[in-house]
Structure 1
C-alpha cells in the first residue's frame, strides 16, 4: 500500500515547530510541512490559498491545519482534490467566530490593533495561542517565527473578514473544550478533546498521535484513544 501524503499547516505566525510532538507512522504516512509565506501586495485569502497549493507535490493529500492554518487549508481545498481536510483548534465558517471577532469586523476595530504591539512576543503569543501563556513565553519563542508586519496585518484582517458562511460538511474538526480563542460553545459538529486548549497541538499531542491516524484511515470510532 502506498503511503498517504499528509501536509500540516501551522497557525497564525507559527512555525512548523508546533508539530514537533506529532508523530505519524512512517510506514503509512508521508508527512510534509507547509510554512507561511509573505502575502503579495493586496493578495486575497483565496489567491494566497491558491498560491500555497503550488507547494503540494502529491495527488489527493490530507491537509491538516491548526487555527488560522485550518482556515487556510479549507480555502486550499477549493483548488485541489484532497483526500481529507482536518482542522484543529479552528473554525469551519465565520458563524463559529466568537462575538469579539464579529464586533471587530463590524466596527473595523482590527484596523486599530497596533502591529508593533502584536510583534511583541508576549502579545503575539496571547493573540495566537490564548491568554494562559505568560509562564511559557520562552517555549513559544521558537514557535512564533513569522513576525513580519505585512504578514501580520494581512493575516489578522483575513481571519476577521473570512467570508465563508456555510461549513463544508466534509471537513473533520477537532476542537478542545477549553479553547479560549474559539470557544467550544460556538462550534458545531466537531470531535471534542476534553481539556484541550487552543494550543492542544502541543499539550494534547498524545491524543492526536493516537487518533489522527485512525481519523485519516476512517477507523476512528468516536472513542478516545490515548
Structure 2
C-alpha cells in the first residue's frame, strides 16, 4: 500500500522547523514540508498559491497549514486535487477574523506596522523583558526564518485582505481555546484543543500526534 503524502505549511514567516515535534507513523504517512518563498512584486495570493503548489510532488496529498499557512493551503486546494485540507490555529473564512483585524482592513492600519522590528529579533533579545517574554523571543529567533521585509509586508496585507466569505465545510479546523490571534469566540466550528494557544503546534504536539492520524484517515474512509 502506498503511503499517504502529508504536506505541512508553517505559519507567517516561520520555517518548517515548527513541525519538528510532529511524528506520524512512517509506515502509513510520508511527511513533506513546504517553505515560504519571497513573493513577486504585486503577486496575488492565488498566484502565490499556484507557485508554492509546484513544490508538491505527490498526487492527491493531505495539506496541513498553521495560521497564515492554513489560509494558504486552502488557496492551494483550489488549484490541485487534494485528499484533505486540515488547518491549525487558523480560519476558514474572513468572517472568522477578530474585530481588530476587520477594523485594520477598513482603516488600512496594517500599513503602519513597523516591520523592521520583526527583523531585529536578536537586538530585542539583548534586553531583559522578563522570563516569559524572553522565552517567546527565543522561540521566534529559532522558528522565524523569513526576515525579508517585502515578504512580511506582503504577508500581513494578504492575511488582512483575505476575502473568502464562505466556509468550506470539507476543511477540517483544529483550534485552541486560548488562541489570542484568532479567538475561539469568532470561530464557527472546529475541533477544540483545551489549553491550546496560537503556537500549540509547539506545545500541544502530543495531542496532535495522537489525533492527527485518525483525523487524516477518517476522510479516506468516507
TM-score by length of 2: 0.92
Deviations 1:165-192, CA, capped at 9 Å, x for gaps = 1111100000000000000000011000
The separation in 2 between residues aligned to 1:93 and 1:152, in whole angstroms, is 21
Tell me the distance in 2 between the aligned counterparts of 1:69 and 1:123.
Answer: 27
- Determine the C-alpha separation between the residues in 1 that align with 2:154 and 2:46: 13
Q: What pairs with 1:87-106 in structure 2 (closer than 5 Å)? A: 87-106=87-106
Residue segments in structure 1 that go unaligned for 5+ positions in a row: 125-131, 220-226
The count of aligned residue pairs is 213
For residues 169 and 212 of structure 1, the distance between their equivalents in structure 2, rounded to whole angstroms, comes to 18
Deviation at residue 133 of structure 1 after TM alignment? 4.7
Q: Which residue matches 1:121?
A: 121
Q: Could you report, residue by residue, the CA deviation over 1:99-158 in whole angstroms, capped at 9, with x for unpaired residues?
A: 11001100010111121123232899xxxxxxx754332233110110100100100000
Moved over 3 A (4+): none
Deviations 1:190-218 (A, max 9, x none): 00000000000000000000000010010
Structure-2 residue corresponding to 1:147? 147
Cα RMSD (Å): 1.8
What secondary structure, in the 3-state scheme, does the structure 2 residue paired with 1:182 have?
coil
Matches within 5 A, 1:1-226: 1-121=1-121, 133-218=133-218
Structure 1-normalised TM-score?
0.91
CA distance in 2: counterparts of 1:22 and 1:142, whole angstroms:
17
Contact 2:122-2:141 within 8 A present in 1 as well: no
Deviation at 1:39, TM superposition (A): 0.2
